[in-house]
Amino acid sequence: MNGSRVVGQVRIVGAGLLGASIGLALRSKGVDTIVHDASPGALSLAIDYGAGRASADTDNPALIVVAVPPDQTAAVVAQELAAYPDAIVTDVASVKALPLAELRALGADTSRYVGSHPLAGRERGGAISARADLFVGRPWVIATGNGETTAMVGVIEDLVLDLDAVPVLMTAEEHDRSVALVSHVPQVVATLLAKQLTGGSERALSLTGQGLRDTTRIAASDPQLWIQILAANSATVVDILRAFRADLDGVIATLEEPGAPGAKRAIAETLAAGNAGVARLPGKHGQDRRFSQLVVMVDDKPGELARLLAEIGDAGINLEDLRLEHSPGTLVGLAEISVLPEVEPKLVAELETRGWRVAEAWR
């Protein structure tokens, strides 16, 4: 039984993490999914994992998804547009203005092209890391402003909804400015912070807590891919990095003379501005609201975390988010639980009645 909104065959070009994950999700919906890759080994692996079938001469895809590195995107999209004149073609590159400009320079027929970009991924690439649920609840930008019809946009929206992602309409330029702020610059900042760790002693690194892990996690991303992404969106990234550098220079100047008049106020204002920025991040399902967080101490033994989650469910309380912290060598972990503010008192009472130690609660 086909439960898909997408109609017809879907051809995926590029059998890496994104391409294979799209294939896995579409196959689970019963879609006839074709996967292709210039690398025979990558293609074989993706097919073995169930991301799709090999292409055939009789294929007539209604939709083509190009999932190749940014520096290859425009050329591959142009090839697919020419090879399949009845298909709508999209891509999942993390920049949108440059591929469109390159397609126009190539003289490609962009009347059947709609760029898009899922804001999802993992630190590890390749079909071996692919997941059918990779896009669940994640924003997926559909780039508009290229003369596309409502019907064409609808085809891409159907794809996005089939993958349980959230379609967001933006122009290519607005997309590139947005991802520079929320993705590309954070990658640079995390990388530069992680770079400082190379000079740290083993004793210093043994003190690492969850804060450092949180702020450097994405520094483990593929350098070759990020070279392409940053180069393709360099102008916007540079503008934001210059503003970041100005703020950093201000903090350095203040800390060089922390006893100077107004120094502590300047530091406090900077920290408060950071609080204000974090407060603007949307919560669950993109809602712009704050949740209450409880930090529960969990003994480091089998079944304890599962028991905690089960007892939250038994209390009739919906868990909005969960984050775990466990330092090596300790006998207890910390589970940071996010819930709606109105149910926080009930949850605290329920947990304490059941013997759990609630370390903190704040809003």
pLDDT tens by residue, 55-89: 999 999 999 999 999 999 999 999 999 999 999 99
Residues 38 and 138 in one domain: yes
Mean pLDDT of 21-25: 96
Closest CA to 362 of 329, 332, 338: 338
Asked if residue 111 is part of any domain, the answer here is yes
Query: Residue 334 pairs with which residues in a beta bridge?
Result: 297, 325
Letter string b/e over residues 178-189, b meaning 16 or more CB atoms within 10 A of that residue's CB: bbbeebbbebbb
Which of 208-217, 270-279, 291-300 holds the top average pLDDT? 270-279
Q: Is residue 362 scored above 70 in pLDDT?
A: no
Last-in-domain residue among 139, 171, 203? 171
Letter string b/e over residues 108-146, b meaning 16 or more CB atoms within 10 A of that residue's CB: bebebbbbbbbbbbeeebbbebbebebbeebbbbbbbbb
Residues 107 and 21 in one domain: yes
Asked if residue 1 is part of any domain, the answer here is no
pLDDT, residue 363, reads: 39
User: pLDDT averaged over the chain?
Assistant: 91
pLDDT tens-digit series, residues 150-209: 999 999 999 999 999 999 999 999 999 999 999 999 999 999 999 999 999 999 999 888
Query: Residue 332 pairs with which residues in a beta bridge?
Result: 299
pLDDT, residue 7, reads: 94
- Report the SS3 class of residue 99: helix
Closest CA to 96 of 160, 177, 166: 177
Residues 249 and 296 in one domain: no
Tokens coding 80: 């697919």
Domain that holds residue 324: 286-362
- Domain of 236, CATH number, reads 1.10.3660.10
pLDDT, residue 285, reads: 46
Amino acid at 317: I
Tokens coding 45: 């692996």
Last-in-domain residue among 171, 191, 210? 171
**pTM of the predicted model over 0.85:** no
Domain tally for the chain? 3
Instruction: Decide if 324 contacts 333 (C-beta within 8 A).
Output: yes
- Report the SS3 class of residue 77: helix
pLDDT tens-digit series, residues 280-338: 887 654 444 567 888 888 888 899 999 999 999 998 998 888 888 766 656 778 888 88
Last-in-domain residue among 263, 279, 295? 279
- Between helix 185-196 and helix 223-232 the angle, nearest 10°, is 140
Mean pLDDT of 239-268: 96
